[in-house]
Amino acid sequence: MPTSRRFPLVLIGAFLALYLVWGSTYLVIRIGVESWPPLLMAGVRFVIAGALLYGFLRWRGVPAPTWPQWRAAGVIGVLLLSCGNGGVTLAEHAGVASGVAALAVATVPLFTLMFGLFWGHRNTRLEWAGIVMGLVGIAMLNLGSNLQASPVGAALILFAAAAWAFGSVWSKSLPLPQGPMASAAEMLVGGVVLLLGSVLSGERMTQMPTAAGWGALAYLVFFGSILAFSAYMYLLKHVRPAAATSYAYVNPAVAVLLGIIFAGEQIGFEECVAMAVIIGAVVLIGVPQWRRPAVEKAKPVGDMEGELCK
**CB-neighbour burial class of residue 67 (10 A; exposed 0-12, middle 13-18, buried 19+):** exposed
**Lowest-pLDDT range of 21-25, 178-182, 263-267:** 263-267
For 68, other C-beta atoms within 10 Å of its C-beta total 12
Predicted confidence (pLDDT) at residue 302 exceeds the cutoff of 50: no
Confidence (pLDDT) at 305: 38
Could you give the CA distance from residue 168 to residue 223 in angstroms, rounded to a whole number?
22
Mean pLDDT along residues 20-33? 92
What is the phi/psi pair of residue 146, to 5°? Answer: -65, -50
Could you give the CA distance from residue 300 to residue 119 in angstroms, rounded to a whole number?
16
Mean pLDDT along residues 94-106? 82
**Binning pLDDT at 50, 70 and 90, where does residue 12 land?**
confident
User: What's the longest Cα–Cα distance across the chain?
Assistant: 57
Confidence (pLDDT) at 295: 43
Confidence (pLDDT) at 187: 92
Write out pLDDT tens, residues 239-271.
Answer: 765 566 667 777 888 888 888 888 888 777 777
Confidence (pLDDT) at 184: 92
Contact 190, 78 (CB under 8 A): yes
Domain boundaries, the chain: 10-289
Contact 36, 90 (CB under 8 A): no
For 122-129, the CB contacts below 8 A with 24+ separation are: 124/288, 126/284, 126/285, 126/287, 126/288, 127/284, 127/285, 127/288, 129/284
Mean pLDDT along residues 172-189? 90
Mean pLDDT along residues 49-78? 95
Confidence (pLDDT) at 261: 86
Write out pLDDT tens, residues 190-244.
Answer: 999 999 999 999 999 989 999 999 999 999 999 988 888 778 767 766 776 556 6
For 196, other C-beta atoms within 10 Å of its C-beta total 13
Mean pLDDT along residues 9-18? 84
Of residues 92 and 252, which shows the higher confidence score?
A: 92
Confidence (pLDDT) at 221: 95
For 304, other C-beta atoms within 10 Å of its C-beta total 22
3-state helix, strand, coil in the chain (%, to 5): 80, 0, 20
**Binning pLDDT at 50, 70 and 90, where does residue 28 land?**
very high
Please give the span between the terminal C-alpha atoms of the chain, in angstroms, as a whole number: 34
How many CA atoms are closer than 13 Å to the CA of 247, on its beta-carbon side? Answer: 29
Contact 110, 141 (CB under 8 A): no
CA neighbor of 169 nearest in space, from 128, 114, 126, 132: 114
Could you give the CA distance from residue 219 to residue 216 in angstroms, rounded to a whole number?
5
**Lowest-pLDDT range of 43-47, 187-191, 217-221, 279-283:** 279-283
What is the phi/psi pair of residue 255, to 5°? Answer: -65, -40
Predicted confidence (pLDDT) at residue 128 exceeds the cutoff of 80: yes
